[in-house]
Chains A and B, each alone.
Chain A
Amino acid sequence: MKKVIVIPAAILILILVAFATMGAYRVPTLVVEFVEKRPAVVESVEYTVDGLTCRGKSRGFAGMISGVEGVVSLTTYVRSNTAIVEYDPTLTDPVEIETAFEGPIVHEDEEYFLFKAKK
């Protein structure tokens, strides 16, 4: 009955394998293009955002930065709470974008905050 050890050993090894391989590739949760025509110069900024945990939240995040003039695209990776924003540097900058998504949501006279950039 020594073979029973195969079971916990296989469980342990396969969990370690899962942890080790999950970083091997990365697929975005949400990709949004905000403009039809990309400007000549585009820069990008990467934020780690508290609260950016799923596709729905990614959409909310897209909504909040969509009003900023000069925002070109958004790509989110929820496993690492990452948002990569491309923008036109002649029209906006990372601080303005951050202010936009950190702003409060107002719903039925209640104010709450969904996102906060981790520094």
Chain B
Amino acid sequence: MRLLRTIVQTLFLAGVVAVLVRGMMGLTTSTCETYCPFAGLVALYPLLRFNTYTCAMNEFHVALFVSLVALTLVTKKSFCSWVCPLGTVQEWIGKASREVFGRYVRPPVAVDRILLNLKYVVLVLVLGLTWTVWQGDLGFRAYDPFYIIFTGFRGHETLSFSIFIGIGVLVAAFFVPMVFCRYLCPLSAVMDPMSRAGFLRLRRNPGRCTDCGICDEACPQGIPVATADEVTARDCTNCLECVEVCPEKGALELTLFGK
């Protein structure tokens, strides 16, 4: 199970790195942005209002965004733990940190609760500024770790401080698991309502579960699995790390439409 996910993640990460390397060699004009579903959301307003695209956005981005909405409705935020290269990198950094510290280092629950809402502010700012003041210009690129990191710190809108954001996010992911996904990612914010509805979700079988709490410890998103009957949390990415570590067979099961 974990192997399957690691393979899928590695494929997508390798794909983005391949685009980067080919771009550096001058073999393609594509960048990591060519395949970004968030662009599809950003494109929607000028598309619906003026029937044009801004920047390099096009039909493919819109199609990707629609696909992402569908994916999230079916499988919660699986995009984050199966597809998104930035999620993959953060997850691996988080696991390295767990090796070093022996467990995930997490902020206190009260602080975490507040920080979780930051990404909605980011979303409103990014969309609001892009659609008004920046007039469709992607002014947030210089602050976007996905853009900064996967253009090899050389994207044409990377500013001198951008490198600190890129490296900062990677370093922060060592001390707070999935820090960008959980607190800052505007795409993660958009997915929240769909993710809550997500048809494919985990159910805990209280008859089999021994309340050992090992699953809570293993969840990169800090979701209290051991006390839930059903994992409806918006942040669950169906990474299934909790299932992987659960010692009781059948205590945690994936259900589709409740079955």
Instruction: Report B-chain residues with C-beta under 8 Å of the C-beta of A11.
Output: 8, 71, 78-79, 82-83
Nearest A residue to B56 by beta-carbon distance? A54
Instruction: Report A-chain residues with C-beta under 8 Å of the C-beta of B56.
Output: 53-55, 78
Instruction: Report A-chain residues with C-beta under 8 Å of the C-beta of B23.
Output: none
Please pick, from B8, B29, B200, the residue contacting A6 in the complex, using a CB distance under 8 A. Answer: B200
Binds B, one of A28-36, A83-91, A96-104, A108-116: A28-36
Determine if B75 is an interface residue (Cβ-Cβ < 8 Å). yes
The reply to whether A1 and B1 form a contact with Cβ atoms under 8 Å apart is yes
Determine if B214 is an interface residue (Cβ-Cβ < 8 Å). no
The reply to whether B71 and A10 form a contact with Cβ atoms under 8 Å apart is yes
Determine if A14 is an interface residue (Cβ-Cβ < 8 Å). yes
Nearest A residue to B53 by beta-carbon distance? A29
Q: Give A10 to B254 CA distance when docked, in angstroms.
A: 15
Binds B, one of A16-24, A38-46, A66-74: A16-24
CB distance from A19 to the nearest CB of B (A): 8
Determine if A4 is an interface residue (Cβ-Cβ < 8 Å). yes
The reply to whether A10 and B75 form a contact with Cβ atoms under 8 Å apart is yes
Instruction: Report A-chain residues with C-beta under 8 Å of the C-beta of B194.
Output: none
Q: Give A84 to B200 CA distance when docked, in angstroms.
A: 46
Determine if B97 is an interface residue (Cβ-Cβ < 8 Å). no
The reply to whether B52 and A4 form a contact with Cβ atoms under 8 Å apart is no
The reply to whether B83 and A18 form a contact with Cβ atoms under 8 Å apart is no
Number of A-B contacts (CB under 8 A): 94
Determine if B47 is an interface residue (Cβ-Cβ < 8 Å). yes
CB distance from B37 to the nearest CB of A (A): 9
The reply to whether B63 and A22 form a contact with Cβ atoms under 8 Å apart is yes
Q: Give A53 to B240 CA distance when docked, in angstroms.
A: 40
Binary interface profile of B, 186-230, with partner A (CB < 8 Å = 1, else 0)? Answer: 000000000000001000000000000000000000000000000
CB distance from A88 to the nearest CB of B (A): 25
Determine if A7 is an interface residue (Cβ-Cβ < 8 Å). yes
Determine if B10 is an interface residue (Cβ-Cβ < 8 Å). no
The reply to whether B52 and A30 form a contact with Cβ atoms under 8 Å apart is yes
Chain B residues 154 to 185 lying within 8 A of chain A, measured CB to CB, are none
The reply to whether B51 and A18 form a contact with Cβ atoms under 8 Å apart is no
Instruction: Report B-chain residues with C-beta under 8 Å of the C-beta of A55.
Output: 52-56, 136
Q: Give A11 to B75 CA distance when docked, in angstroms.
A: 9
Instruction: Report A-chain residues with C-beta under 8 Å of the C-beta of B243.
Output: 1
Instruction: Report B-chain residues with C-beta under 8 Å of the C-beta of A4.
Output: 1, 4, 240, 254
CB distance from B46 to the nearest CB of A (A): 9
Given A1-B253, A3-B255, A4-B1, A28-B52 contact (CB < 8 Å)? yes
The reply to whether A23 and B82 form a contact with Cβ atoms under 8 Å apart is no
Q: Give A55 to B135 CA distance when docked, in angstroms.
A: 12
Determine if A15 is an interface residue (Cβ-Cβ < 8 Å). yes
Determine if B66 is an interface residue (Cβ-Cβ < 8 Å). yes
Please pick, from A7, A29, A54, the residue contacting B238 in the complex, using a CB distance under 8 A. Answer: A7
Q: CB within 8 Å of B: which residues of A?
A: 1, 3-4, 6-8, 10-11, 14-15, 17-19, 21-31, 51, 53-56, 77-79
Interchain residue pairs with CB less than 8 A apart (5): A10-B78, A18-B60, A18-B66, A29-B58, A79-B58
